[in-house]
């Protein structure tokens, strides 16, 4: 009976996500903001002569390493479910590219889950991240401005999945974090930071 009840609950979650995914076909607020506010502001700040020079976000990668999966593969199912709930897109399993004896890791062994967001799904995820999730972090003082990679891309870590409202505290078996990578067309970190700040991403001073 318990298994049947759990299956019904999962089906309801999947249906609700399908409805939400359909909704994200609508143009997001951030996408509209980019065209109306971000582009003019960056053209003025960096004196771009052509609108095509203005950097933009091309994709967001959400990644979670799951070292425990080498001992218990079932943990992957929980991580796949949580990432699906958070991003509204089906994630895939990452596998080890080579064997590492010291870590008892074999080539092809599952080591994590990830998903790559583009278009409106990417924008809706960023909206949720900026407006809802990050403000829910206890004693949050902003993101580090030192996590750019020198090529205009930015990666930061999230310590726990509970900052996302889609995650039910009562169904969490363990607190797990994830990394979020924002990939842009910016040629340097300065313009990339200005781009992300224009969207409202909060950086520490």
User: Which domains does the chain show, CATH number per domain?
Assistant: 2-199 (3.30.1440.10)
Give the per-residue pLDDT at 42: 96
Q: How far apart are CA 55 and CA 188, in angstroms?
A: 10
Query: What integer pLDDT is reported at residue 47 of this predicted model?
Result: 94
Alpha-carbon span 30 to 45, nearest angstrom:
20
First vs last C-alpha separation in the chain: 54
- Per-residue pLDDT at 21: 43
Cα 156 to its chain centre, rounded Å, is: 10
Q: How many CA atoms lie within 13 A of 124 on its CB side?
A: 18
CA distances from 58 to 4, 181, 183, 198 (A): 41, 11, 6, 15
Nearest one of 114, 119, 116 to 24, comparing CA atoms: 119
Three-state SS at 94: strand
Q: Residue 125: name the closest of 165, 168, 176 by CA.
A: 165
pLDDT along the chain (205 residues), means of 10: 55 48 57 90 94 96 79 80 94 73 60 90 94 93 95 95 94 92 96 96 92
- The pLDDT value given to residue 19: 42
| Residue 91 near residue 76, CB atoms below 8 Å | no
Which residues touch 203 (CB under 8 Å, ≥6 apart)?
Answer: 142, 143, 144, 145, 193, 196, 197
- Confidence at residue 2, expressed as pLDDT on a 0 to 100 scale: 53
The per-residue pLDDT for 69 is: 55
What pLDDT score does 38 carry?
94
């Amino acid at each position: 009976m318990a298994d049947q009840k759990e299956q019904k609950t999962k089906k309801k979650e999947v249906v609700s996500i399908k409805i939400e995914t359909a909704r994200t076909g609508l143009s997001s607020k951030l996408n509209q903001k980019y065209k109306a506010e971000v582009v003019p502001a960056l053209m003025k700040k960096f004196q771009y002569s052509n609108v095509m020079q203005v950097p933009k976000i091309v994709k967001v990668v959400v990644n979670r390493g799951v070292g425990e999966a080498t001992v218990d593969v079932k943990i992957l199912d929980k991580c796949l479910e949580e990432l699906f709930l958070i991003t509204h897109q089906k994630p895939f399993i990452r596998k080890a590219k080579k064997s590492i004896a010291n870590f008892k890791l074999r080539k092809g062994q599952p080591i994590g889950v990830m998903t790559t967001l583009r278009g409106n799904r990417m924008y809706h995820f960023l909206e949720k991240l900026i407006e809802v999730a990050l403000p829910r972090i206890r004693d949050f003082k902003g993101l580090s401005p030192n996590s750019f990679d020198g090529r205009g891309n930015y990666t930061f870590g999230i310590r726990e999945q509970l900052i996302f409202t889609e995650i039910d505290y009562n169904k969490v078996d363990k607190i797990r974090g994830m990394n979020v990578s924002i990939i842009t067309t910016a040629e340097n970190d300065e313009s990339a930071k200005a781009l992300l700040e224009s969207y409202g991403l909060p950086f520490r001073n």
